[in-house]
Structure 1
Amino acid sequence: METKVYYIDEKDDKKIKEASRIIKAGGTVVFPTETVYGLGANALDEDACKKIFLAKGRPQDNPLIVHVADFDISKYVKYIPEKAKILMENFWPGPLTIIMPKSDTIPYMVTAGLENVAIRMPLNKIARKLISYSGVPIAAPSANISGRPSPTTIEHCIEDLNGKVDMIIGGEKCEVGLESTVVDVSDGEVIILRPGAITKEMMEEVIGNVFIDPAVLDKLKDDEKPRAPGMKYRHYAPSAPLTIVCGDINRVIEYINSKTLENNMKGIKTGILATDETVNEYKGSLKISLGSRKKPGIIAANLFDCLREFDKIDVDIIYAEGFGEEGINLAIMNRLKKAAGYNIVKV
């Protein structure tokens, strides 16, 4: 398959309309959002959505998020729960996905056989124009090979999906850099299934109690069906095995330095995922800073890019500093734990 690649901005209506014609015809288009790049197809066309799973190598029990251009979602859900309305009013358009009871319009291919559908209105102007011009909602997971770190630049998308999709459009790096927060409101409560830039604390300011599903920080059981993208499988992973080291930061540095020295003696190339505050304390030369702990939003935006960077320098093993679980740090740790396959050392 020949993939058309266009570097564009939100003013390039001609290329966005060309992409929309591909969506209408049942094809696949990679497009930018404020979170990560998405691999989109017509959410109402089961055959089109199958192409998403094939291009990514994505398991079919992993549901897709349906992206919309406006608040008129009545055709896609049986009803809109009251708490969903409050969240939509406060956080749409933006990086928040809301799970609601699906209507018959949405194919089970999109929901992985579940009776609920995940819906989001992205903030990115290219994304919303593409959806609007297409005239249909767009189902879109992250535009990467399944299991790899999610793409935050158009170059990441080209690296993973060139020759596997009809078109790739975009330009700038994604602002948020982590996938959207996913909440389930279908049973009356607000439950976070995947943390993101819209945090528990932000939602509680407008809606009261918000709960965190145990699968956010612990591994989903093998026989459990994922209710949202990113819950079950090893995700966001670099090629080299990743270990998260948690505890007092001085002990973390000491542990990683000792492992690096030990690995060097064995000829094992060790990558270190550090922060601005600690990067110069590490002995290894293959170290990358995510940014300052004082600016967790920057760390979140850099995470996937840094994980992909370790693939480029071909390390054999990676050690990463752990983070707390407050605010957006919850999302950072969720992604790191998935990338590490829950391989965590406490010191």
Structure 2
Amino acid sequence: MLLLRTDPLAPDRDIIRVAVDALRRDGIVAAPTETVYGLFTHAQSDEGCAKVFKAKGRPPDNPLIVHVDSVEMAEAVGYIPDELVDVLRRVWPGPITVVVRSRGVVSRCVTAGLDTVAVRAPAHPIPLALIRELEAPIAGPSANKAGRPSPTTAAHVVEDLDGEVDVIIDGGPTFLGVESTIIDVTKKPPVLLRPGPFTVEELEKYFGHIEVPPVARGLAEADVALAPGMKYRHYAPSTPLIIIHFDLKEAAKDLKTRGVRVAVLCAMGRCADADAVIQMGADLYEVAKNLYKSLRDLDRLGVDVGLVPAIEEMGLGLAVMNRLRKAAGHREARNIQDLLRALPNKQ
């Protein structure tokens, strides 16, 4: 495994060539995007795609996202509705993925055998350089073991996938910290499949009304995964996590009196005394950027449970709550009784 460091804003051409050589040989490459680190392979490589699924331990019915450098490349991969071509030119490159009908040119492993394909153009120089040097789209999920918190640094990738990746490009921490927004544009109105940095409020300026089903809020699991993040538990630390909808201080104090070792993940000024405290950020942007690092840090503290305050589900808050609900395994408490029921092993 090669670990190669480069400036994220001006990628070293030689490093890009080394990584692309691995992609051409059906290898897998971990690299940053503006959202999280991705685990990439040539989008047309059955062998490379199989390696991605094996390295992650990913269920085979969970499709990957195809990354392109332009709307033109996206049109070669899937059927982009005529009315959306100009829209995509305005929102790409950026953290928004569209699900469209597939043209069948990428590996069926990538699409998990579906007749749709998820496509986006990343707003990060490193993956764009990989795509342009390869002269073909790349496909990948986040570069972590399935179910674990997504990686926002190369160190997180090494922590999960050391020895299972051909090349890791260390481009420093990612810019945004949560995965791209995904919408299904085969439906009218378009349906939000996974919230992300591109908020519903912003989406509706370009795409019109967006339907937001319970699965997008993290309140339910999909029967069929049309895109990543829909069907299985994701983003989860090993330490049990509970989302608190009432006074965080009251919750932490009650558990401490019961002898439960508690860590509090503080967000936007909401905090409490506990055995350990993790500062996620003073505003929503910082909370999103630090979310996965905070979940990984939680596992290093040796506590019984983590408590995190609920976030208002507006703007970027919808994406943060979606990730928290999946990370918590839907453990949420609106009062002390809920909290006690949510405790692992009924402590």
Q: TM-score, normalised by structure 2?
A: 0.92
Matches within 5 A, 1:76-91: 76-77=77-78, 79-91=79-91
**Which residue does 1:274 correspond to in 2?**
266
**Which residue does 2:21 correspond to in 1?**
21
Distance in 2 separating the partners of 1:337 and 1:82: 36
**Which residue does 1:226 correspond to in 2?**
225
Q: Which amino acid aligns with 2:330?
A: Y
Aligned residues of 1:226 and 1:232 also touching (Cα < 8 A)? yes
Deviation at 1:121, TM superposition (A): 0.3
Q: Which amino acid aligns with 1:90?
A: R
**Equivalent residue in structure 1 for 2:279, among 269, 289, 295:** 289
Distance in 2 separating the partners of 1:169 and 1:260: 43
- Of stretches 212-221 and 306-315 in structure 1, the one that deviates more from structure 2 is 212-221
Matches within 5 A, 1:45-60: 45-60=45-60
Distance in 2 separating the partners of 1:272 and 1:260: 12
**Which residue does 2:109 correspond to in 1?**
109
**Which residue does 1:198 correspond to in 2?**
198
**Which residue does 1:339 correspond to in 2?**
327
SS of 2:77's equivalent in the other structure is coil
1:260–1:219 Cα change, 3 Å: farther
SS of 2:299's equivalent in the other structure is helix
Q: Which amino acid aligns with 1:311?
A: D
**Which residue does 1:260 correspond to in 2?**
256
Aligned residues of 1:219 and 1:342 also touching (Cα < 8 A)? no
- Of stretches 21-30 and 68-77 in structure 1, the one that deviates more from structure 2 is 68-77
Aligned residues of 1:83 and 1:185 also touching (Cα < 8 A)? no
Distance in 2 separating the partners of 1:200 and 1:83: 19
Q: Which amino acid aligns with 1:252?
A: L
For residues 302-333 of structure 1, the C-alpha deviation after alignment (integer angstroms, 9 at most, x for no partner) is 10011111112232211111111100000000
Matches within 5 A, 1:87-166: 87-166=87-166
SS of 1:326's equivalent in the other structure is coil
Distance in 2 separating the partners of 1:307 and 1:225: 27
**Which residue does 2:11 correspond to in 1?**
11
Distance in 2 separating the partners of 1:123 and 1:331: 19
Distance in 2 separating the partners of 1:261 and 1:138: 52
1:83–1:289 Cα change, 3 Å: farther
Deviation at 1:70, TM superposition (A): 1.8
Deviation at 1:82, TM superposition (A): 3.8
Q: Structure 2: any 5+ residue segments left out of the alignment? A: 336-347
For residues 23-75 of structure 1, the C-alpha deviation after alignment (integer angstroms, 9 at most, x for no partner) is 01100000110000000001111111000000000101111000012221222
Deviation at 1:83, TM superposition (A): 4.9
**Which residue does 2:213 correspond to in 1?**
213
Q: Which amino acid aligns with 1:75?
A: A
1:326–1:44 Cα change, 3 Å: same
SS of 1:110's equivalent in the other structure is coil
For residues 82-116 of structure 1, the C-alpha deviation after alignment (integer angstroms, 9 at most, x for no partner) is 45324412210010001000012122211112110
SS of 1:145's equivalent in the other structure is coil
Q: How many pairs does the alignment contain?
A: 331
Distance in 1 separating the partners of 2:302 and 2:3: 27
**Equivalent residue in structure 1 for 2:315, among 323, 327, 340:** 327
1:23–1:65 Cα change, 3 Å: same
**Which residue does 2:343 correspond to in 1?**
none
Q: Which amino acid aligns with 2:75?
A: S
Structural RMSD (CA): 1.4
Q: Structure 1: any 5+ residue segments left out of the alignment? A: none
Distance in 1 separating the partners of 2:90 and 2:193: 19
Q: Which amino acid aligns with 2:221?
A: L
Q: Which runs of at least 4 in structure 1 moved beyond 6 Å after TM superposition?
A: none
Matches within 5 A, 1:35-54: 35-54=35-54
Distance in 2 separating the partners of 1:153 and 1:299: 16
Q: TM-score, normalised by structure 1?
A: 0.92
